[in-house]
Amino acid sequence: MRTVQKAESGASAVVVAAVMVLLMAMAAMAIDLGAGFTERRQNQTSADVGVLAGAIDALDLGECGAAAATVDDGGCNEVLTFIQQNLTSSFTNAEWVDIWR
């Protein structure tokens, strides 16, 4: 019986080492995927902020405010309508300008 126990000594160390390698690989995968998703979200947020900044800039310069009264408004009404439909809050043109100043 003692020879069997001596032959198996250290077997748990091999199993623990294999499990540690597997766990470290899974942790590395989780970190990489998390970083990828975070970068993707930041890129989308940057694009959204850029679009909103362009719309606010158009409002601030008076391009959309003056053009809204004309028939050929250069797409300002479509941009403002799209923005207001996709936000949870709605603001008037003057409120947008005040918010972003």
pLDDT > 50? residue 67:
no
Please compute Rg for the chain using Cα positions: 30
Residue with token string 């409002």: 59
Q: How far apart are CA 46 and CA 99, in angstroms?
A: 18
28 has pLDDT over 90: yes
For residue 96, the model assigns a pLDDT of: 66
Question: In which region does residue 72 sit, left (phi positive, over 0), alpha (psi from -120 to 50) or beta (all else)?
Answer: beta
Q: Determine contact, residues 93/64, Cβ cutoff 8 Å.
A: yes
Task: Flag whether pLDDT at 36 surpasses 70.
Answer: yes
pLDDT surpasses 90 at 33? yes
| Structural domain boundaries enclosing 32 | 2-99
| Number of domains the chain is built from | 1
Region 42-71 average pLDDT:
68
Of 68 and 24, which is predicted with more confidence? 24
